[in-house]
Structure formats: C-alpha cells, structure tokens
Amino acid sequence: MSSKRLRISRPTKYELLRLKRRLSTYRRMHRILRDRLFILSQEFFRLLIQAKSLRENVNRLLSDAYSEYVACRASHPYPAFYLDVISEPRVLVKERSIAGVRGILVEYVEEEEARGTGCIAKVSESMRRALREVSKLAEVEETLLMLGEEIRRARRRVNALEYILIPRIESTIRVLESRFEEKEREEKVRLKKVKTMLEARRGTSIEGHG
C-alpha cells in the first residue's frame, strides 16, 4: 500500500477542505467502479459455464455429424457429395452491450428447404444442428474474450483508487490535520504565556504605584 503523500502548495484550511471533498469523490468513484467490476465478473463466470457446456455439446454433435458423413459418403462416392449435404453456412453477426462491454450476437441463418433423402437428409440435419451450436459457441467465446479484457482494465482502475489515490489523500489529510492541531496548541500556549506576562506586569505596576 502506498504511504506517499500529495504535495500541497499551500497547507491552509481551505486546501484541507478541498482534499476532503476530493476524498469523498474518490470513494464514490471507487464504489461505482467496484460494483461494475463485480457485475462484469459475474457475467464472465456465467458465460464461462455456458461456454463449457456449449463446447461439450459442439464436440459431441460434430463427432456424430462427421461419423454420419463418412458413413454416407461411402455410399455416395462422387467428389461433389459435400455440396449435396450442406451449402456454405450463413451467419449474421450483430452487436450488443453487456454492462457497457461491446459483445456480439451470432445468428445462424437456417436453410429454408431440407436437403436430399435418406442418409443425405440425415447428414444434412446433423450438420445443421452442429453449425447452430458452433455459432452459439462462437458468440459466447468471443464475448468472454471481450469481457476478460474489460475486467482487467476495470480491476486496474479499482486498484489504483484503492491502493494509491485514496491512501495518499488520507495520509495527506492526516498530516495537515495534525499540523493544524499542533499550531493551535502552540498558539494556545503562547497566548497563555503572554497573558501570564501581562498579568505579572500589571501586578508589578500596581505595587509600584501603591
């Protein structure tokens, strides 16, 4: 934790008041940024669990789809077979916001008509199911990357406030307050001495006249 102090040009009471206001602003900033960090982290972990489940699903679906493809291919040994099974996939990528972080929405555009018959239709359907899940997974993983970046940035801000700016200001305020207290004490002592001296002089002059 930083124990350095801010350099103050004029150690006056007005400056002390300014510092206290600044401290209050920093504490407010810290609370808001910390809340945001909490929400971003919560979103991140929620999507992480989703990504794990989607990844397992995608692996399973792709494995099944490829097995069916290979089996069907054996009975349709012509080069352009894959074109009968599925056309080039189309996805729409749109933007969205998650607590201020720019994320994406990926929509897999379904083909209107079913393809082929028999094993071709079956393989086509398996491939489409797999692609649907792949597009969902792409959306979630990309969003996770963006969230991760933003969480790193947000954490640095929160730490800067918590460990540098706020402790520095608090330390400076403490020093200024103790200086003012000391000055006040010195002033009181000085006044007391002056008062004692004046009283002593008054006492001596009365005796002299008397």
Partner 1 sequence: MKGMDDELEKLLRGDLSRINSHLPRARKTLRELLGERDPHVVLLNGSRHYFRRDELERLASIIPEEEWDRIRLPIIIEVSSGLDKGPVGIIRDPVAARYLSRITGAEYSEGKPLLLYAPQLSHLRSIFETVTEYAFTYVP
Piece in contact with partner 1 (CB under 8 A), picked from 73-81, 127-135, 163-171, 185-193: 163-171
Is residue 128 within the footprint of partner 1 (CB under 8 A)?
Answer: no
Under the binding rule (CB under 8 A), the answer on residue 105 touching partner 1 is yes
Among 20, 23, 48, 50, binds partner 1 (CB under 8 A): 50
- The span from the CA of 190 to the CA of 196, in Å, is 10
* Distance from C-alpha of 60 to C-alpha of 119, rounded to nearest angstrom: 19
Per the structure block, which two tokens stand in for 120?
A: 């071709």
Q: Does 52 bind partner 1 (CB under 8 A)?
A: no
Return the residues of window 14-43 that contact partner 1 according to CB under 8 A. Answer: 28-29, 31-36, 38-39, 42-43
Which residue among 102, 183, 188, 193 contacts partner 1 (CB under 8 A)? Answer: 102
Measure the CA–CA gap between 89 and 119, rounded to whole angstroms.
20
DSSP string, 32-70: HHHHHHHHHHHHHHHHHHHHHHHHHHHHHHHHHHHHHHH
Q: Helix (H) and strand (E) counts for the chain?
A: 4, 2
What's the min distance (Å) between Cβ of 47 and partner 1? 9
- What is d(CA 170, CA 145) in angstroms, rounded to the nearest whole number? 37
The CB-of-160 to partner 1 minimum distance in angstroms stands at: 6
138-157 binders of partner 1 (CB under 8 A): 157
Strand locations in the chain, DSSP E? 90-98, 101-109
Options 160, 191, 197, 200; binder of partner 1; rule CB under 8 A: 160
Judged by the rule CB under 8 A, the positions of this chain that interact with partner 1 are 4, 6-7, 28-29, 31-36, 38-39, 42-43, 46, 50, 94-102, 105, 157, 160-161, 164-165, 168
